[in-house]
Amino acid sequence: MNKVIGTGVNRKDGRAKVTGTATYAAEHQIPGLVHGYLVTASIANGQIKSIDTSAAEKAPGVIAVFTPKNPPKIFKPANDFMSSKIYEERLPLSDDKIYYGGQIIGLVVADTFERSRHAAHLLKIEYTTQQPLVDAKKATFKDAPPLFGEELKFEKGNIAAGNSAAQVKIAATYTTATELHAPMEPHAIIAHWQDDNSLTIYEPSQWVAGSQRTYAQLFGLPTERVRIVTPFIGGAFGSKAFPWPHAILTAAAGRQIQRPLKVVLSRRHLTANTGHRSETEQLIRLGATADGKLTVIEHEAKSCTSPVDVFPEGCTGITPVMYDAPNLRLKQDMATLNIGTPTFMRAPGENPGMWAMESAIDELAWALKIDPVELRLNNETTEHQRHGLPFSAKHFADCLRVGADKFGWKDRPKQVRTLTRDGKLIGWGVAAATFPGMRGQASVKARLLGDGTAHILTAGNDMGTGAYTIVAATAAEILGLPVEQIRVEMGDSLLPDGGLAGGSQMTASLIPAVMSACAEVLKTADAKTAQEALTKLQQSGQSAFEATATSAPGDEAKKWAFQSWGAHFCEVSIDEEIGRLQVTRWVSVMDIGKVMNAKTAASQIRGGVIMGIGQALMEECHLDPNIGYPVVYDLATYHFPAHADIPRIEVIFVGEPDLNFNPAGARGVGEIGITGVSAAIANAIYHATGKRIRDLPITPDKLL
């Protein structure tokens, strides 16, 4: 059997994407399509006193104007994450209050996009305005609610005893800024009703079957009367998993006017209405013996939510898995601001959590005069200290050792401000990476056709990660066919439920189902290879051998904790005269279990590292402190890295297939790459300059 899995297979969807034939949501051509433009609040706290829609209604081409005075009909969904989920609990236009700047307060529909946008600006709105609260420093924090059913507060051992056993202690506060997902493809939707009882939605969706059920509940339809079409997604990072208010409003309005309706969000709309990663503030206290054994870890985190939903950024989830501490205390608080609803963004919780933890560990290493790689190795934990379960497969130490070797870490000067090059200060930094292994149920249909091709079908989708490609590679290997002869169709709710493309779990959920479906096809044919099956197919006179398989986790999570690991090593060059920093070298070593595709897996890590460099050095969404409106609202004002900001990123994989986790042994790779990146950079900055920076992003003013 030819090995395909694990080799560097080219992207199945690559050609379609670079030649423009991959159809994204807003590009679907529907006859009779009309266009909507959102009306958004220009204040951040208060109430609508009056809305005058008369000029807009008379404007050329206008078909309908929706405001809180005439909201289209929407049913309240269960919103329990099992049967349905919407990002913002409050339904659009359901009252006349303004909870945050940029909140959707209307939708104008016209025959062209330009006419809808023009008419949207003709609405005359008067507000009763109150002072918005957008400054977290002035907010009141309370205990955060549980996240996925787990209390965010936790304590084990004896904190006082841990502190008195410590010979060296550090305590520091670390902050992160409000960050935007900033996907290349803006959020967009086409809602196409067939009469009043059947709805087709073209929308980028990370959770096809979940969206289908959610829209069905929102409109009082049986699930099978909703179809979600989402073959391609141009970046999501957690912001395209569930319907946002703009999408619910578009579908509701489309039903009322009985015309296919398209709404594409502007970058300004995206800022307020499609989620963000909350700013965070984290206090970490570490205590250790003089020879570098942790005696205590305390981790307190704060994040903010909107007035219309609750989303805590679970920063302390990483703490019980990273380092062995007999005494451990976690606490998480949350405050409400007049800001759009925050949500999942690549490694939600893990990312800011690892920024704080990996910075603190570096501070402790300097205080102890112990190499930070060695300090991490000395404090490895073999079990999840909260769940009391051993890790199924853990190669964190290999990540650190292989990375140190590759980077040349042993040559690192032990003093700050000693490395220079071309008049610039040079510094080296290390930080760990981690992300849990998650898996859900997924179904796949496989078909072997008489012409020697196979067709793999699932509603599970590819948000740019390479899922099309690993599905094809897996089918090619199991069937024994060249990967070119495998056709993959994904992202349509007419196909078998393929689970959620989130939590880095699409690979772990879907690939076992692909394996089973392909094996089942061969079994149906009573054949060992596709060649043998094809002969039987010709003899039988059937058109295809076909099988559908479902794969789901069993009770393995009762026996093991599943977690991926990594280490980032980087070099920075700093010109203190002008505060200019360049990241000049990067090595990432990852243990993700089985690597399904060497090429796309490395790309996922690189993407994560690049996004992490953006977080470390540039990304920050500001709100006007007086009016509470986002003053960062496009890709010019929201800074993120360009090619010139990024060095060559070397990615190495270590570890072994995690076969306790699933039959593929793969734990997924989408999110781990971004964890630890900002800490590795701040740690390198300390090595270069002797200055510890604890507030992100590390903009030039902080380096002067």
Residue numbers at the binding site for ligand MOS (CB under 6 A): 206, 236-238, 344-346, 348, 502-503
Residue nearest to ligand MOS (CB): 238
Q: Could you tell me the smallest distance in angstroms from the CB atom of residue 241 to ligand MOS?
A: 6
Amino acid at 464: G
Determine which one of 179, 203, 298, 671 is catalytic.
Answer: 671
CB-wise, 346 or 568, nearer to ligand MOS? 346
Handedness of CA 173, 174, 180, 181 (dihedral sign): negative
Is beta strand 442-449 parallel, antiparallel or unpaired with respect to 424-436?
Answer: unpaired
Between CA 56 and CA 62 the distance in angstroms is: 7
Q: Could you tell me the smallest distance in angstroms from the CB atom of residue 436 to ligand MOS?
A: 11
- As separate numbers, helices (DSSP H) first and strands (DSSP E) second, the chain gives 16, 27
CB-wise, 313 or 658, nearer to ligand MOS? 313
Burial of 369 (0-12, 13-18, 19+ CB in 10 A): exposed
Amino acid at 220: G
Q: Which residue bears the tokens 């008195």?
A: 164
Q: Could you tell me the smallest distance in angstroms from the CB atom of residue 675 to ligand MOS?
A: 12
Closest CA to 594 of 476, 511, 483: 511
CB-wise, 25 or 365, nearer to ligand MOS? 25
Burial of 47 (0-12, 13-18, 19+ CB in 10 A): middle
3-state helix, strand, coil in the chain (%, to 5): 30, 25, 45
Between CA 588 and CA 673 the distance in angstroms is: 8
Between CA 700 and CA 378 the distance in angstroms is: 35
CB-wise, 503 or 630, nearer to ligand MOS? 503
How many Cα atoms sit within 13 Å of 679 on the Cβ side? 27
Which of the 8 DSSP states describes residue 452?
S
CB-wise, 345 or 364, nearer to ligand MOS? 345
Phi, psi of 441, deg, nearest 5: -80, 140
CB-wise, 214 or 573, nearer to ligand MOS? 214
CB-wise, 296 or 347, nearer to ligand MOS? 347
In the numeric block, which tokens belong to residue 371?
A: 């190499």
Question: Catalytic annotation on 671?
Answer: yes
Which of the 8 DSSP states describes residue 290?
T
CB-wise, 118 or 346, nearer to ligand MOS? 346
CB-wise, 237 or 409, nearer to ligand MOS? 237
Between CA 529 and CA 521 the distance in angstroms is: 10
The alpha-helical segments, DSSP class H, found in 425-505 are 467-479
Q: Could you tell me the smallest distance in angstroms from the CB atom of residue 138 to ligand MOS?
A: 29
CB-wise, 205 or 250, nearer to ligand MOS? 205
Between CA 675 and CA 609 the distance in angstroms is: 8
Q: Which residue bears the tokens 């997604």?
A: 233
In the numeric block, which tokens belong to residue 244?
A: 């946002």
Directed axis angle between helix 598-617 and helix 350-368, to 10°?
70
CB-wise, 502 or 566, nearer to ligand MOS? 502
Burial of 647 (0-12, 13-18, 19+ CB in 10 A): middle
Between CA 435 and CA 349 the distance in angstroms is: 10
Contact 424/574 with Cβ under 8 angstroms? yes
Between CA 490 and CA 476 the distance in angstroms is: 17
Directed axis angle between helix 506-524 and helix 530-540, to 10°?
50
Contact 126/49 with Cβ under 8 angstroms? yes
Contact 632/619 with Cβ under 8 angstroms? no
Between CA 130 and CA 98 the distance in angstroms is: 10
Between CA 36 and CA 48 the distance in angstroms is: 21
CB-wise, 46 or 502, nearer to ligand MOS? 502
Q: Could you tell me the smallest distance in angstroms from the CB atom of residue 484 to ligand MOS?
A: 30
Q: Could you tell me the smallest distance in angstroms from the CB atom of residue 671 to ligand MOS?
A: 6
Closest CA to 177 of 695, 699, 704: 695
Between CA 294 and CA 367 the distance in angstroms is: 13
Phi, psi of 389, deg, nearest 5: -115, 145
Q: Could you tell me the smallest distance in angstroms from the CB atom of residue 350 to ligand MOS?
A: 10
Residue 522, classed as helix, strand or coil, is: helix
Q: Could you tell me the smallest distance in angstroms from the CB atom of residue 238 to ligand MOS?
A: 3
Active-site residue set: 671
